[in-house]
Amino acid sequence: MKLLKLALPFRSSGNLLLRNFTNQRAGKALITVPKIEIADGQILYLLMSIYIHGETLYARTIVRGQPAKNHVRVYDRVRSEMESLGLCVKPLGGGMMDVNEAARTMKIYGKCKTFGRANHYKTMEIMKESENYKNFNITMER
């Protein structure tokens, strides 16, 4: 019992050190996570916000897409990937994309039944900012 009373004051400083270390690791991950990861072909995509737990002010918006049965599978894959980096994920909506890298075209359309319709205009702007997709002919449907 006496040992517990002696260790109690050090617990709070230990927690603070651990939290700072974790936030630094997550902060580096937040900066280095690629904004876009999509596959070629007809895919389901999600527009998501990633952030450090409790610090939503410093969130980044990312686009993730892959061939899948539903948007939940895309979300689960991204969530597990981000959790391993110490980041939280919030889906902002989803839709579909037809990506043809050979013809350098992309069509953004549709909506997600689970997470709602993504802001396709914002998705298009993120894609145009990217070095890989800035020369693509990107169209969207409302």
53 catalytic per annotation? no
b/e code 74-83 from CB counts within 10 Å (16+ = b): bbeebbeebe
Among residues 21, 12, 29, 9, which one has the least CA distance to residue 83?
29
Task: Name the catalytic one among 30, 47, 71, 87.
Answer: 71
Instruction: Give CA–CA dist 77/28, Å, rounded.
Output: 20
Q: Please give the positions annotated as active site.
A: 71
